[in-house]
Amino acid sequence: MQRRQFLFGSGALLCAPLALTAAPNSRAAELQSQDFSPLLSAATDDSGNRIGVWQKDGWQYSQAISHRGHDSVYHRQRKELLFFSRRPGRELYVLGADSGTLLHNISSEDGYHYYGHGCLSYDGRYLYTTENNIAKDGAGAIGIYDCENDYRCLGHMDCEGIGPHDLALMPDGNTLVIAIGGIKTLPSSGRTTLNADTLAPGLHYIDLPTQRVVEKVAAPHYQLSLRHLDVSPDGSVLVGAQFQGHLPSDQALVYFHRRGETLTAMNTEELPLHFKRDYIASVCIDDHGKWAVTSCPRDNLVCLWDMQTQSLSQVWMLRDCAGAVYDAAYQQFILSNGDGQLLGLIPGKSKLKQLAYSAGTHWDNHLTLRV
């Protein structure tokens, strides 16, 4: 890419959903030509909160739930879909991938709640989840669940940090990387931050065979809560932050990390970013480790990053942008937002392409492929 681009005219402007209703016949024909892989997501619509699989222009199947969902995992070996409730929820839903039937409704152990994220072991035997150990005054923990035994909880690992949020398995298959938000909350006070002056966010790495933290990397600022991350095939980690102090801040919000090094802020010198709300939601890297996308719903921005140069390449305005996932089958990133849109982002293209639109649907912050 020869030049950096900040794009306002993209087919994904702040008012784009209104345009979709202007010519429904031509719009329907256009959408038929926009292919993408089936998606797992949580969403809210006029009927309430739901989880399920979206394919083409509608739900393939969905299940109503009593509260907002957050992230999800596709268990390919077992052909099961895992959906996590938003913090401080205690529910983990397991659906059959073929039928959408609810197979299990798992509750966190007494004294714990989920933070909305999880990942699988290399062989698919175990599920790891980020959790709040309420009984230990909000200490962070990683739950271990046996997928082959109805997702029975086997215990917890100490992640040595408060507020673990997103996590991922490293390419070695033996290490977890965890985004430590540093934010202490307890159900008795809702989502209120109880340690605003003593946050200790960072990236922590756990060695699974020993269940011990083997590396800690502190965030550059104590109020820079690290929340969402993704891992490149070469083991590089990209992590997004949400600043917890006075807004706007002068802190970088997206960081690159390699084991044994410090966090490096991604370069925005050629295309300066001006945040007002300082909030990164989804973080996603493509399957070659070349490009990455971050969504910034509170500032209505989507950013494309060059992982090789560790720099910002393109920015689009997209209202209430939320989920982001890379769809290798169609060589595109898929984005969702709170206005019911699904859009395709192809690096180097100036426009986001409309994939689907569902009036009244508010997609939650994360997307997962069912492939």
DSSP string, 82-148: EEEEPTT--EEEEEETTT--EEEEEEPPTTEEEEEEEEE-TTSSEEEEEEEEGGGTSEEEEEEEEGG
Query: Is residue 358's pLDDT more than 90?
Result: yes
Query: Is residue 16's pLDDT more than 50?
Result: no
Q: Any bridge partners for residue 239, and if so which?
A: 229, 255
**Residue 34: predicted pLDDT:** 64
220 Rama class: left (phi>0) / alpha (psi -120 to 50) / beta: alpha
Task: List, for residues 172-189, the tens digit of each pLDDT value.
Answer: 999 999 999 999 999 888
% of the chain residues with pLDDT over 70:
91
Under the banding of pLDDT at 50, 70 and 90, the label for residue 14 is very low
Query: Is residue 147's pLDDT more than 80?
Result: yes
Q: Chain-wide mean pLDDT for the chain? A: 91
Distance CA 106, CA 150 (A): 9
Residue 69 is inside which H or E element, if any? strand 69-75
Under the banding of pLDDT at 50, 70 and 90, the label for residue 190 is confident
Query: Is residue 11's pLDDT more than 80?
Result: no
Distance CA 189, CA 30 (A): 48
**Residue 4: predicted pLDDT:** 55
Distance CA 321, CA 297 (A): 5
Instruction: For residue 239, count other CB atoms closer than 10 A to its CB.
Output: 28
Task: List, for residues 311-352, the tens digit of each pLDDT value.
Answer: 999 999 999 998 999 999 999 999 999 999 999 999 999 999
Q: Which of 371, 254, 365 is nearest to 320 (CA)?
A: 365
Question: Which residue is associated with the tokens 């931050």?
Answer: 193
Average confidence (pLDDT) over 123-129: 98
Number of alpha carbons in the 13 Å side-chain half-sphere of residue 73? 25
pTM strictly above 0.75: yes
Task: List, for residues 163-174, the tens digit of each pLDDT value.
Answer: 999 999 999 999
350 alpha carbon, distance to own chain's centre: 24
Contact in structure between 343 and 335 (CB atoms under 8 Å): yes
Query: Is residue 295's pLDDT more than 90?
Result: yes
Average confidence (pLDDT) over 266-272: 89
Under the banding of pLDDT at 50, 70 and 90, the label for residue 359 is very high
Contact in structure between 156 and 141 (CB atoms under 8 Å): yes
Which tokens is 280 given? 């990164």
Query: Is residue 26's pLDDT more than 80?
Result: no
- Sequence letter at residue 62: S
Residue environment code for 89-103, b if the CB has 16+ CB neighbours within 10 A, otherwise e: bbbbbbbebeebeeb
Q: What structural domains and CATH numbers belong to the chain?
A: 1-58+223-364 (2.120.10), 67-218 (2.130.10.10)
Distance CA 251, CA 259 (A): 22
CA–CA distances in Å: residue 15 to residues 121, 177, 319, 339 = 42, 38, 8, 9
DSSP state, 303? E
**Residue 7: predicted pLDDT:** 59
* Cβ neighbourhood burial of 231 (10 Å; 0-12, 13-18, 19+): buried
Under the banding of pLDDT at 50, 70 and 90, the label for residue 191 is confident
Query: Is residue 278's pLDDT more than 60?
Result: yes
Instruction: For residue 186, count other CB atoms closer than 10 A to its CB.
Output: 15
DSSP string, 309-336: TTEEEEEEE-TTEEEEEEEGGGTEEEEE
Contact in structure between 146 and 126 (CB atoms under 8 Å): yes
Residue 32 is inside which H or E element, if any? helix 24-32
Instruction: For residue 215, count other CB atoms closer than 10 A to its CB.
Output: 15
% of the chain residues with pLDDT over 90:
87
